[in-house]
Chains A and B, each alone.
Chain A
Amino acid sequence: METTDEARQEAFERRIARGEKIEPGDWMPDAYRKQLIRIISQHAHSEIVGMLPEGAWITRAPNLRQKLVLLAKVQDEAGHGQYLYHAAETLGATREEMIEALLTGKAKYSSVFNYPSLAWADMGIIGWLVDGAAILNQSMLARCSYGPYSRAMVRICMEEGFHKKQGQEMVIRYARGTPGQTAMVQDALNRWWWPALMMFGPHDSESSNSAALIRWKIKTRTNDELRQEFVNELVPDLHALGLSVPDPALRYNAETSNWITGEIDWDEFWRVVRGGGPCNKERLAARQQAHDDGQWVREALAAYAARTDAGRSTA
């Protein structure tokens, strides 16, 4: 039985249209596979690099409860990176290729992690805004057409609910706290607001990948739609807490019920994506060091495996 690629492509598009999940073993166009490897591995790298801004504060948490919460959150990010590397592997990418691409700067990760976390209140703002933005994007990806990616996202979203809430809880506490705490949390908001909005990516009109991703139901909503939902959800809460959003152009449009922000500084966005952010070098150096420092563990496991294999074959 001869099946042409054209017929396969049509059958594939029909499966996508019916809302079926594509699973490992199913036929898929090469471009679909490549797009998925690109976004899943970037997503995995983001989880792994995303441990760094918060990891820096674990030893400086003000009390044991906060320390346990932060430890648990950073540990989750490590696990989420693992789920995602495994999902990318089902498409034929190897762990080594993906880590190599991260360490040589070939693969990207979310630019938001190239900003420094300068104060303890950043832990609250990162949880509420950065994890909140990630959850919006990930809830969409949980419906994506590729089974392994979709399932990893469902699991991650379930676990990340606490990340966002512990951040919001902290912001609520400091916003109603001493003048020093209020100033600290306002300063953190001032620094993270714009990077958080940039997490949704370029405008739809500038996003070269959006059309294909939406056609194949990898994404089901556009960058701008998600960003608008994020702003609409956050602004009233921030105002209720007496915090001010660092955007003089921010206004409410009663007709559309949307909060309209000023323009994002896209020059800054692209500069940070291309490696010129405040922490790009530091983040990659930290990953490289972790990789090098783990060398002895990989060697010890290899020696252990070789010895137990030898033990089994002579037993």
Chain B
Amino acid sequence: MDTQWPRFEVFEQARPGQPHRNAGAVHAPDAEMALQNARDVFVRRPDCASLWVAPEAAIYSRTAEELTAGEAEAGDEHGPTQMYQVFQKQSQRQAETFVNHLGSVEASSPEAALRQAAEQWGKGAWVWWIVPESAITRSTEAEAASMFAPALNKPYRQPNYYHVQTQMRAVRAHDPDEDEA
């Protein structure tokens, strides 16, 4: 029996007003469960205000290397349009973040959406993700309290809850001979 479940990419927003950014992935049989799993896996700390999930299969992803090496992918230019959300990895700096949300475009295919996004936000991205708006499931305002507030009440999960440096200084001040090195 296949127990793997489809993979959903997870986007988290640290604080209202900041862009959603990819946090990682979860597996789930549907988007609603994916949102619940995303909350359990990624929100054990009080730095999440909103979560989005989208099935990996719906995401059009291209790295700079793929775009340089591949033939230009035409995609449908003339069909009916839909909204795509655009995400981009902007730098090689070590960071927790992968692709950040930039905004949305209207296009008739993901390829066309990527061309439009490159014109609008510049071509210098390391990775592009183009996600159809219809594939995204978002946490709602009504759910926010039950999803994100519990992490606020668990200060013992934060390193600054413990004062071991101060305690070690006190130990050493009390008994300086013990400190050999």
Contacts and interface: CB of A to CB of B under 8 A. Distances in A.
A168 B168 CA distance: 10
A184 B71 CA distance: 67
Interface in B145-181: 154, 156-159, 161-164, 167-168, 171-172, 175, 178-181
B181 A259 contact: yes
A52 interface: no
Contacts of B23: 155
A206 B2 CA distance: 40
B41 interface: yes
B70 to A, nearest CB: 9
A155 B96 contact: yes
B172 A72 contact: no
A68 interface: yes
B139 interface: no
A155 B44 CA distance: 11
A152 interface: yes
A189 interface: no
Q: How large is the interface on B (under 10, 10 to 19, 20 to 34, 35 or more residues)?
A: 35 or more
Interface stretch (A221-229, A238-246, A276-284): A238-246
Given A26-B63, A162-B158, A151 B168 contact: no
Contact of B41 (A79, A151, A161): A79
Interface string B2-44: 1111010000000000000001111101100100000011101
B168 A82 contact: no
A311 B23 CA distance: 31
B120 to A, nearest CB: 22
Interface of B: 1-5, 7, 23-27, 29-30, 33, 40-42, 44-45, 61-63, 65-66, 69, 89, 92, 94-98, 126-127, 154, 156-159, 161-164, 167-168, 171-172, 175, 178-181
Interface of A: 1, 3, 19-21, 23-27, 65, 68-69, 72, 75-76, 79, 82-83, 86-87, 89, 94-96, 142-143, 147-148, 150-152, 154-155, 158-159, 161-162, 165-166, 168-169, 172, 176, 232, 235-237, 239-242, 252, 257, 259, 298-299, 301-302, 304-305, 308
23 contacts: A20-B126, A23-B89, A23-B126, A25-B65, A68-B154, A82-B24, A86-B24, A89-B7, A89-B25, A148-B98, A150-B94, A151-B24, A151-B96, A151-B98, A154-B96, A159-B44, A162-B159, A162-B161, A236-B179, A240-B171, A252-B180, A304-B30, A308-B30
